[in-house]
């Protein structure tokens, strides 16, 4: 498919997140986040790596954003680091932190790149975690004040907002499994964090709209197409439970449907954290829903697995093509998710806010050829086009990610970027997939993109 097949109003962009690219972890009064703390716990991160420097975007943003512009990228999704503008999570703001994001926003606009701001991409201020973090109901008020500061500081130039990034991941991995920051474990922690995050996604959107009625406000969900291992009753039930947990837990309350307790009885225990008006406070009419999809999951019944009685069959065990994340290469998954979400009544337009793949890259003669990533992105875009042709309201596509970056617990090992980063020298090299995307956005072929080829590294 070509770009023109999607229409002139379709949004094309790239995504990054503050902790994964910025670095500058202790510069200009920035306070520590839970990830600044978590990476220092031995054995939690691949090779004990940290995001202290990451891609050094804090100092190199002008060159990176200039490369975006050279690649014909006109929409850039990035996040605000809460503790960079509020070092203690609340109270006195850091003007230095606010000024940094003002410079990023202004530079984007000077190159005709529209900024899309994610308010929370996992890096909670450590001082708020010391008071309970997402388990403490007070976070609703902390988050509200943070959102107000962002809109008042940047809203004169930013009108596209995303409230939360993948709440199922940061609550599940961070408050149930303990494999992500802040490393909490247990059902009680998870259910409390889940409920408070669900309240914050609605409250955050309401705050933005109250201050900036013309804004475009959404939130993003991690989604995986779920299939049973066998079409037998117990696998079908297991798949339905996993679907409720991974794909529906935060979406359905937002749509006014409540938590999916029918398929997942254990969620009934969330009621102990609810107050009288909470059910109404969970819902909000978003302007769009961000869909973040990478793969599908195959589910089998597992009687000894607590709570869900289900287990994912990993890609390596199924002997299918897979990425460095051990995710199956299955671009059709995004089509199935778009179709599933679009079937909800009163569903707003959908935007694919993350899509991509991590593969091993090699630098050869100063270039990086990554045909597998290129093919994945091309095929995923075709699946988005397939959904549009069937009448599904999907209105944008953002690639994860622009730069190779710090991939949380996996450190710097998995590379998702369109741009290769040497993390020792900070040299950038535009990969073949990045050249292809630039050509696609130009409605050209990669071979026609000769001017860009002369300045692809720095």
The residues annotated as belonging to the active site are 166, 354
Structure tokens at 288: 């769009």
- Interatomic CA distance for residues 377 and 446, integer angstroms: 14
Residue pair 386/378 in contact (Cβ under 8 Å)? The answer is no
Burial class (CB in 10 A: 0-12, 13-18, 19+), 280: exposed
Residue pair 221/294 in contact (Cβ under 8 Å)? The answer is no
Residue pair 300/313 in contact (Cβ under 8 Å)? The answer is yes
Cis preceding-peptide flag for 148 (omega within 30 of 0) = no
- Interatomic CA distance for residues 202 and 230, integer angstroms: 37
Beta bridge partners of 11: 396
- Interatomic CA distance for residues 132 and 127, integer angstroms: 9
Residue pair 331/376 in contact (Cβ under 8 Å)? The answer is yes
Nearest of 342, 341, 338, 316 to residue 329 by alpha carbon: 316
- Interatomic CA distance for residues 450 and 439, integer angstroms: 10
Nearest of 2, 34, 237, 222 to residue 129 by alpha carbon: 34
């Amino acid at each position: 498919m070509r770009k023109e097949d999607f229409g002139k109003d379709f949004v094309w962009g790239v995504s990054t997140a503050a902790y994964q690219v910025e670095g500058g972890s202790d510069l200009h009064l920035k306070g520590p986040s839970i990830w600044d703390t978590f990476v220092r716990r031995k054995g939690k991160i691949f090779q004990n790596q940290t995001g202290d420097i990451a891609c050094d975007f804090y100092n190199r943003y002008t060159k990176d954003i200039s490369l975006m512009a050279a690649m014909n990228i006109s929409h850039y999704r990035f996040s605000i680091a809460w503790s960079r503008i509020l070092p203690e999570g609340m109270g006195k703001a850091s003007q230095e932190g606010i000024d940094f994001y003002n410079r990023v926003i202004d530079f984007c606009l000077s190159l005709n790149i529209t900024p899309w701001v994610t308010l929370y991409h996992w890096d909670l201020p450590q001082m708020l975690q010391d008071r309970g973090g997402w388990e403490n109901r007070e976070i609703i008020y902390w988050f509200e004040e943070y959102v107000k500061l962002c809109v008042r500081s940047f809203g004169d130039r930013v009108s596209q907002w995303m409230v939360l990034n993948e709440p199922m991941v940061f609550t599940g991995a961070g408050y149930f499994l303990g494999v992500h920051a802040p490393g909490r474990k247990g059902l009680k922690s998870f259910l409390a964090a889940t409920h408070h995050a669900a309240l914050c996604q609605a409250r955050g959107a309401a705050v933005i709209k109250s201050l900036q009625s013309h804004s475009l406000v959404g939130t993003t969900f991690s989604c995986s197409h779920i299939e049973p291992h066998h079409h037998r009753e117990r696998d079908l039930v297991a798949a339905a439970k996993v679907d409720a947990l991974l794909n529906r837990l935060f979406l359905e309350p937002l749509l006014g449907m409540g938590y999916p307790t029918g398929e997942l009885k254990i969620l009934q225990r969330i009621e102990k954290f609810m107050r009288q008006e909470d059910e109404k406070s969970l819902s909000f009419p978003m302007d769009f829903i961000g869909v973040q999809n990478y793969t599908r999951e195959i589910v089998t019944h597992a009687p000894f697995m607590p709570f869900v009685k289900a287990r994912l069959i990993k890609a390596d065990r199924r002997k299918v093509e897979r990425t460095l994340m051990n995710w199956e290469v299955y671009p059709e998954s995004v089509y199935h998710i778009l179709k599933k979400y679009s079937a909800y009544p009163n569903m707003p337009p959908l935007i694919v806010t993350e899509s991509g793949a991590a593969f091993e890259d090699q630098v050869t003669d100063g270039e990086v050829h990554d045909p597998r990533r290129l093919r994945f992105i091309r095929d995923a875009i075709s699946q988005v086009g397939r959904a549009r042709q069937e009448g599904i309201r999907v209105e944008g596509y953002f690639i994860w990610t622009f730069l190779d970056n710090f991939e949380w617990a996996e450190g710097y090992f998995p590379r998702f970027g369109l741009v290769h980063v040497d993390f020792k020298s900070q040299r950038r090299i535009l990969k073949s997939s990045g050249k292809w995307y630039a050509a696609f956005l130009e409605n050209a072929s990669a071979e026609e993109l000769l001017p860009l080829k002369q300045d692809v590294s720095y």
